[in-house]
Amino acid sequence: MKAMIRKWHHTFADHPRTADQMLFSLSRVYTYGIDEEIIEKNPCTGIERLYTGSRKENVWTPELIALFRAKAKPHLLLAFETAIHTGQRQADMLLATWKQYDGTHLMFEQGKSKPGRPKKRVRVKVHSALKAVLDALPTDTMRILNNSRGRPWSKSGFKTSWGKECDRLGIEGVTYHDLRGTFITDRRREGSTTEQIASITGHSIAEVGRVLEKHYLATDQQTSDAVILRMERTSRKQKK
């Protein structure tokens, strides 16, 4: 069966991302079969993916973050700070109202949910740096994030303005969405578990793991070095 699936998978080699999405969907069916004790193993396991692209390099570096903070327009800088400090989706951030902020936490009803499942509600503690920004803003608008005219963003309007601002600042290779991945990456580097990160971002634990493994931490030198550094600390403790 695995040979048949591999052959089928390769018939879509001209569109590797689509091929891998189809393989993943089929794998989910087999996983359900295992959970229900209909079958004993998943024949998709071990079949190599065709898509080799990765966003492991597409994180906001400290240099890019410093550049944006120093030169970005205020209304776009606010959108930047909320994303990098909360890890929330763009759509949820653009819809956030002042009623969702109680001075210490931001409450979100995350919009991207699976069919048949209710939207996930999360309460994110506001980082002190973001709190200072929010507390200094006037609250006479409905939305927290607004365009240069003080009006709520449309999805297309925000995308256009964000792209123009990055072009103006000479920032290439990263997107607003990559701030979400940067949040996940940095929190994991700090020692937060995938479970803790998932409780904020709205991902499942498995999704956070896939983001870290496939897209952001595949060749993260800091993360791999940390393994040896912890080993050295343990060795020194044992010697003492």
For residues 100 and 107, the answer to whether their CB atoms sit within 8 Å is yes
Considering the domain boundaries, does residue 238 fall inside one? no
Per-residue pLDDT at 215: 60
Nearest to 174 by CA among 83, 240, 101: 83
Per-residue pLDDT at 52: 65
pLDDT surpassing 70 at residue 133: yes
Per-residue pLDDT at 104: 94
Distance CA 56, CA 183 (A): 13
Q: Token pair 């991302």 is at which residue?
A: 17
Which two three-digit tokens encode residue 53? Answer: 């692209």
Predicted confidence (pLDDT) per residue in 163-181, tens digit: 999 999 999 889 999 999 8
Residues 6+ apart with CB under 8 A from 126: 85, 86, 101, 104, 105, 106, 134
Q: Token pair 């002190």 is at which residue?
A: 128
Predicted confidence (pLDDT) per residue in 85-94, tens digit: 999 999 999 9
Write out the E strands in the chain: 105-110, 120-125
Give residue 45's domain range. 1-53
Mean pLDDT calculated for residue range 70-77: 97
Considering the domain boundaries, does residue 231 fall inside one? no
Mean pLDDT calculated for residue range 113-138: 84
pLDDT surpassing 70 at residue 36: yes
Distance CA 101, CA 127 (A): 12
pLDDT band at 230 (very low <50, low <70, confident <90, very high): confident
pLDDT surpassing 90 at residue 160: yes
Considering the domain boundaries, does residue 235 fall inside one? no
Same domain, 34 and 108: no
pLDDT band at 217 (very low <50, low <70, confident <90, very high): low
**pLDDT > 90 in the chain, percent:** 51
Same domain, 66 and 49: no
Q: Which residue has the higher pLDDT, 147 or 217?
A: 147
Distance CA 218, CA 59 (A): 12
Predicted TM-score (pTM) of this structure: 0.68
Per-residue pLDDT at 113: 52
Q: Which residue has the higher pLDDT, 50 or 38?
A: 38
pLDDT surpassing 80 at residue 226: no
Mean pLDDT, the chain, as a whole number?
87
Same domain, 171 and 70: yes
pLDDT surpassing 60 at residue 114: no
For residues 95 and 89, the answer to whether their CB atoms sit within 8 Å is no
Mean pLDDT calculated for residue range 186-198: 87
How many structural domains are present in the chain?
2
Q: What is the CATH number of the domain that holds 116?
A: 1.10.443.10
Same domain, 156 and 203: yes
